[in-house]
Structures are given as structure tokens and as C-alpha cells.
Amino acid sequence: MRDVTQDADREAAYECFDCGNVVDGTNPGRCPECGSAMRNRGTPIE
């Protein structure tokens, strides 16, 4: 289930697309609260 090829090992904050839950640390992959996709808050999305 790994589809992240960027710097996934860097510690950062990840925010859930769906519920806005924030997880600090390595990429959780899925939101622990609702299971939706997470995005790196340090990576602006165009």
C-alpha cells in the first residue's frame, strides 16, 4: 500500500483531507481518525 515516492521519511505534519486531523511525524498514509488520505502540510498543492 505504499504509493509515496517522495521524502516520506522526513518528519513533518500531515493533515487529513477529509476531517482535518493533523498527525506529526512520518507519513501515516491514512488518517487514524477517519481513514482518508493525508497530505503533507509542508507541501503546497497547486
- Of residues 27 and 31, the one with the C-beta less far from Zn ion: 31
Residues between 2 and 41 with contacts to Zn ion, criterion CB under 5 A: 16, 18-19, 21, 31, 33-34, 36
- Of residues 16 and 27, the one with the C-beta less far from Zn ion: 16
Residue ranges with strand state E in the chain: 12-16, 22-25, 38-40
Asked if residue 11 lies in contact with residue 25, where contact means CB atoms within 8 angstroms, the answer is: yes
Q: Considering CB under 5 A, how many residues would be counted as binding Zn ion?
A: 8
Interatomic CA distance for residues 6 and 4, integer angstroms = 6
Q: Which residues bind Zn ion (CB under 5 A)?
A: 16, 18-19, 21, 31, 33-34, 36
